[in-house]
Chains A and B, each alone.
Chain A
Amino acid sequence: MPVLGAKPVEIGYVYILADNEYSGCFMNSLQKGAGAQHFHSSSSILLIDDEYEILPEYQEFFELAGFRTLTCADPVQGMAMVLETPDIAVVITDLRMANLDGISMIKNLRAALPAERNVHFMILTGDASSELCDDLADIPIFLKPADTDALVAAIRTVLVC
């Protein structure tokens, strides 16, 4: 459960953080027995994309796929969420974002995360020309429009492991 020093208010499926610091971030608890498979009850995924409008669609999609899902439109706030939420095991991020590009964010997170945290990163970008530097070569890249099946398969794979 998110422990962020502020009590989440449940509105249907969606928790809206009352704390202003987290405005714009959506955190939903995965409903058990909603017909979706449950892999790790404690694991959740975070999706970061600065395109504000699409976040609800992502949320819906991943929850339909059976993942506990958090979304965030601001990479800086997303970083703070990853560091402070031990549940987050998978981070899916866009690359071209206004405040902080995805690669820098991943690098910063990898440097900042404690050793016991095993967070998997994935990239979901619309920029076909994107190439990653060598030390990020292990990160899978998914191009928009997203191949939803492959993306879900990849998430399942890392969450099972």
Chain B
Amino acid sequence: MLSRNWTGFPAIRNIPKTDFLIALFVGVAGLFLNTFELKLGWGTNFVIGNALVYVLVRVLAPQSLVLAISVSSIGSIILWNHLWAWIVSVCEAIFIAIFAPRSSPVRSVVLYWIVAGAPLLFLFYGGILKLDQLSVALVVAKQIANGILNVVIGEIIYVAILSRNPFGKFGHWQKLRVECFTVMLFMGTVLIPATVYMALDRPSRERAAMEEVNRNLESRTTVADAKLSAWVDSRTVLLRGYAENGALRRGQSDVRLPKEFSAEFQKIAFLAPNQSLAEFVSAEGGSVIRSTAAKGPLSFPTGKRARLVALNLGQARSNVHFALVVPHVRNGQANDIVAILRPTTLHDLVEIPGQHFMDNVFVISPAQGKFALTHVASNVRTLVGSMPQSQQATAVTKPVLLSEVDYDRAITSDLRDTQIVRLRPIAALPEWQVASVLPLEPAVLKARAVQLLHFLAVITFVFLIGLLASHMSLKASNVLRRVSQAAADLTQFGRSQTGSDDIFIEEVSEISGTIAIAAASFGRERGALASYQRRLNSIAQHAPIIVYAVDVADGEGTVMTYISPSLQQMLGYSTAEGLTENWWSRSIHPDDYEYCMAAFRHLVPGKVYAAEYRIRHKNGHYVWVYDTLSVEPTAQGAEHEAVGIIMDISERKASEDQLLQSDKMASLGRMISGTAHELNQPLNFIKMAASNLRENALRGRLEAEKFIPKLENVLAQVERASAILLQMRVFGRTSKEAPSAINIQHTVEAAILMAEPQMELDGTQLITEVKASDLYVRALPVMLEQVLLNLFINANDAIRSRHDAGDSREGEIKITIDCNERSAVITVADNGPGVAPDVLPKIFEPFFTTKPPKEGTGLGLSISYGIIRDMGGVLRAKSSRKGARFIIELPLAETVAAEAA
């Protein structure tokens, strides 16, 4: 975990550079996406580029997230010069960065808009930009919906990514909490369909509003056209009548007009025959305005239909005058009537009384950019006058939007200032059109009110559902946490399972029930296991042994994985010290190291290994230990594990020298008593023979042939006695002599010499076979003799036990002297009953004996084993039905030649 302060912002230096790079990249991508707007009508647009950034709300560091949003939102400054929108977006990012890790991102954003976003927008748009209430409300509602939508979309994309997890190796992709997921689902369900609906519905709603305005405009222009036509028709009739009455003379203008004409016309004249209208007008000091499209001479229609003509009269050339030209034939001669209209006449005709001039109907000549009405507002002149030709043509058939500002790109784009224009050709005034302009504002306001309601409804839903979702998700999360706690409780023995009545999800309830059942049985097993473990621990702690476990790979011990606390008692080390690397191998006595390593090499499963060696106590002194281990396959099966125990045998070792001596003494006792018995036999014989000789001599029966055999028997018995005494020789020696290279054969012969008398008594034969001669080993002869004697006596005892059991085959002990590469091998094999398989592993154990009490100390073989081991050799026992076999292997002495010399 990174070190974090309470805001959840890690120190900048802890954030990897790649984090910032990713943030920058995502920010730019968001900026690009933000230029594609989702139009919801009347300039209300959603931008969803920030959603791209909020995908990474769990991945990026908080600072990086804020950085990414400030980049992706920067379009509001660069493109729309809208600093406030940028500030609100960045604040949103900061808020989410702080609270999302502890809550859910969606909940954070909802909270943000309630607490900070909405007030900020009201402040900026209402207080600083001073927009009207409706706009502010709409902007706030729209921004809230847009902001929440972005985070929800981000979450949905995150879930989608998480389910495939293609970027798993970049950063830490947290899993979603059930809370976040629920809130996201609910919000997405409300927001996305609402947004999609608004976006899809936009064209039809806009079209409907435009259509409404257009119908109004169309009716106005139609009415204006009809009025003009009707007026022209009625005035034509009146003017013709006026001319028929002779009121007008050809070629002269009547300055005094009758009252019914003077209100509308400023002059009525007749054109002279062949006088053109242009000639007449120029005579009047003006000119005829002709369209650029009709450059030819102004010709009158052949019909009798009157028409209006635009004229320039007087100085003010911008002012347009209109003349009603009525074709008239008088006395077979063309005598057209020209009636010049007063400036306001036409205006009064088309104008709708009581309407503001902006909303009114006027007459224009789009081709020439001329306005017929002096009082048409300049902005309207500009707007309408600057319409391109194509729009002018379009405006005849359908409404055209005119706007002073291109609002299309503004966040607060507003169509209220937009005008909508419609043109209609005037039947009575070719090249001129009736134009009507209406502002879009009323329609926009109406649409916006609806939009605002729509947004408010959505936001209300969002908040309500947010609450519900929060509640549900908290509950679901609680339930899941409880279930997970129940599962976790499985690992803790004795924890009671809480009730699960309020779990409202069927599957979870089932899981909970299953866990409860599992927990119960698990608890029982765990209880049994715990007490079992307690017993084991107690043994490991209180038994005077160390229990340990070592991993085994390729036949070698690798890592010590367990060592019992009794290590402290026995060797002074804590278990932690005992588990440090190489503790064991470093603590072995240097002299025992090689032997120890050899003893625990090539560890094979199912076998038992043992060694006795010295190991250093923490205080520095060495402790004799007996170490035995067995190798078992572990549960995983791939590796093996060795489990072993270490016993303190220092007491045994300390007394082993004494034991050696006492065994010697015990042997001495046995030998003496045996020897005494054996000695008594010849003595007895001698005494009896001597006594008989004396008796016979006393009685005077001194027959030489009877005496001589008796005396020879006596001499033989003396020989026998002295041979018996030879075997006592070994016990006179001291064991403090230094070992020297000795010839094995000599030692074997000496031992045989000592044992032979006793063997002969029991009828046991000693046979020696020398397969390799002149073998030298470094040893004390007396020690090796004692070992051999022990083996001979044991062999003889075994043969005797066989005899006791009724098998009277002759006893035989065969001694073989041989060698292998490095060792001399002495084998002592008997044809006794052999050693029982269950006894065989124990025969070298101290105080183990198969002999009746008093006959064996149980130390003979054990001490023999120790003696041979001290010489660097091995004493092994084998057995079959043919008898037992003891094999002594002793390393050959290196300096054979020197010592032998």
Which of the residues A60, A125, A128, A144 comes within 8 Å of B692, measured between beta carbons?
A: A60
Binds B, one of A50-58, A80-88, A108-116: A50-58
Does B581 reach chain A (CB closer than 8 Å)? no
Asked whether any CB of chain A lies closer than 8 Å to the CB of B685, the reply is yes
Q: How far is the CA of A61 from the CA of B688 in the complex (A)?
A: 7
Instruction: Verify A57–B678 contact, CB threshold 8 A.
Output: no
The 5 residue pairs across chains A and B that have the minimum distance between CB atoms: A126-B680, A144-B684, A145-B687, A57-B688, A144-B680
Cα A143 to Cα B680 with chains together (Å): 8
CB-defined contacts of A126 to chain B, threshold 8 Å: 676-681, 683-684
B residues contacting A by CB (< 8 A) are 673, 676-681, 683-689, 691-692, 695-696, 699, 710, 713, 762-763, 803
For the complex, what is the distance from the CA of A143 to the CA of B681, rounded to whole Å? Answer: 10
Is A96 among interface residues, defined by CB-CB distance under 8 A? Answer: yes
Instruction: List the A side residues contacting B691 at CB < 8 Å.
Output: 61, 148
Say how far B484's CB is from chain A's closest CB, in angstroms: 79
Chain A positions within 8 Å of B763 at CB level: 98
- Taking a contact as CB atoms closer than 8 A, the residue among A35, A58, A129 that contacts B673 in the complex is A129
- Bound-state Cα–Cα, A114 to B685, Å: 34
CA distance A96 to B761 in the complex (A): 11
Other A-B pairs beyond A60-B692, A96-B677, 4, CB < 8 Å: A51-B685, A57-B689, A128-B677, A148-B691
Tell whether, in the assembled complex, residue A145 and residue B684 are in contact, meaning their CB atoms are under 8 Å apart. yes
A31 to B141, CA, bound (A): 154
Q: Is A146 an interface residue (CB 8 A)?
A: yes
By the criterion CB–CB under 8 Å, are A145 and B686 in contact?
yes
Q: Which residue of B lies closest to A127 (CB)?
A: B677
Tell me if B678 and A98 are in contact (CB < 8 A): no
A139 at the interface (CB under 8 A from B): no
Beta-carbon contact of A98 and B681 below 8 Å:
no
Query: Would you call A76 an interface residue if the criterion is a C-beta within 8 Å of the partner chain's C-beta atoms?
Result: no
Which residues of the partner chain A approach B688 to less than 8 Å between Cβ atoms?
54, 57-58, 61, 145-146, 148
Query: When A126-B678, A126-B680, A145-B680 are in contact, do A57 and B673 touch as well, CB less than 8 Å?
Result: no
Query: Is A64's CB within 8 Å of the partner chain B?
Result: yes
**B681-A61 in contact (CB<8A):** no
For B673, what are the chain A residues with a Cβ–Cβ distance below 8 Å?
127-129
A35→B701 CA distance, assembly (Å): 13
Taking a contact as CB atoms under 8 Å apart, the answer to whether A51 and B681 are in contact is yes
> Would you give the shortest CB distance from B678 to chain A, in whole angstroms?
7
| A 125-161 to B, binary, CB cutoff 8 A, 1 in contact else 0 | 1111100000000000001111010000000000000
Q: Tell me if A61 and B685 are in contact (CB < 8 A).
A: no
Q: In the complex, how many residue pairs between chain A and chain B have their CB atoms under 8 Å apart?
A: 63
Most A C-beta atoms less than 10 A away, residue of B678, B684, B687, B762: B684
User: Which partner residue on chain B sits nearest A149 by CB separation?
Assistant: B691
Q: Are A54 and B676 in contact (CB under 8 A)?
A: no
Contact in complex: B699, A146 (CB < 8 Å) = no
Contacts of A61 in B (CB 8 A): 688, 691-692, 695
CB distance from A27 to the nearest CB of B (A): 19
Q: In the complex, A35→B763 CA distance in Å?
A: 41
Complex alpha-carbon distance, A146 and B685, angstroms: 9
Bound Cα distance from A128 to B762, whole angstroms: 19
Query: Hey, which chain A residues are within 8 Å of B686, CB to CB?
Result: 145
The distance in angstroms between the C-alpha atoms of A126 and B684, with both chains bound, is 8
Pair A57/B695 contact, Cβ less than 8 Å? no
Residues of B within 8 A of A54 (CB): 681, 684-685, 688
Instruction: Across the interface, name the chain A residue whose C-beta is closest to B688.
Output: A57
Say yes or no: A128-B676 contact (C-beta < 8 A), given A57-B692, A98-B803: yes
Would you give 14 A-B contacts (Cβ < 8 Å), ordered by A?
A51-B685, A61-B695, A64-B696, A125-B677, A126-B676, A127-B677, A128-B680, A144-B681, A144-B683, A144-B687, A145-B680, A145-B684, A146-B687, A146-B688
Q: Which residues of A contact B689 (CB under 8 A)?
A: 57
- Give CA–CA (A53, B683) in the complex, Å: 13
A60→B687 CA distance, assembly (Å): 13
When distances are taken between beta carbons in the complex, the residues of chain A under 8 Å from B696 are 64
Q: Say whether A64 contacts B695, CB under 8 Å.
A: yes
B713 neighbours in A (Cβ, 8 Å): 53
B-chain residues with CB within 8 Å of residue A60 when the two chains form the complex: 692
Most B CB within 10 A of own CB, among A51, A58, A96, A144: A144
A7 → chain B, closest Cβ, in Å? 28
Q: Name the residue on A nearest B800 (C-beta).
A: A98
Q: How far is the CB of B538 from chain A (nearest CB, A)?
A: 47
Residues of B close to A51: CB separation below 8 A: 681, 685
User: Measured between alpha carbons, how far is A155 from B419 in the docked complex, in Å?
Assistant: 165
Residues on B with C-beta less than 8 A from A58 are: 688
A51 to B685, CA, bound (A): 10
Q: Given the complex, which residues of B lie within 8 Å of A143, measured CB to CB? A: 680
Of B673, B688, B692, B696, which is in contact with the most chain A CB atoms at under 10 Å from its CB?
B688
A contact residues around B803 at 8 Å (CB): 98
Q: Which residues from chain B contact A57 at a C-beta distance below 8 Å? A: 685, 688-689, 692, 710
How many angstroms between the C-alpha atoms of A96 and B803 in the bound complex?
14
Q: How far is the CA of A69 from the CA of B692 in the complex (A)?
A: 15
A9 → B minimal CB distance (Å) = 22
Interfacial chain A residues near B676, Cβ < 8 Å: 126-128
Using Cβ atoms and an 8 Å threshold, which residues of chain B touch A128? 673, 676-677, 680
> Which residues of chain B come closer than 8 Å to A125, judged between CB atoms?
677
Chain B residues positioned under 8 Å from A148 (CB to CB)? 687-688, 691
CB of A123 to closest CB in B, whole Å: 13
Q: Which of A53, A61, A126, A127 has the most CB of B within 10 A?
A: A126
Bound complex: CA of A142 vs CA of B713, how far in Å?
A: 23
Residues of A within 8 A of B684 (CB): 54, 126, 144-146
* B851 shortest CB reach to chain A, Å: 16
Question: Which of B681, B689, B763 has the most CB atoms of chain A within a 10 A radius of its CB?
Answer: B681
How many angstroms between the C-alpha atoms of A154 and B680 in the bound complex?
21
Name the CB-closest residue of A to B685: A54
Using CB atoms, name the residue of chain A closest to B681.
A126
Is B692 in contact with A64, judged by CB distance below 8 angstroms?
Answer: yes
> Using Cβ atoms and an 8 Å threshold, which residues of chain B touch A144?
680-681, 683-684, 687
> Cα distance A126–B710 when bound, in Å?
21
Beyond A98-B803, A129-B673, whether A35 also contacts B699 by CB under 8 A is yes
Contacts of A35 on B, CB cut-off 8 Å?
699
CA distance A19 to B684 in the complex (A): 30
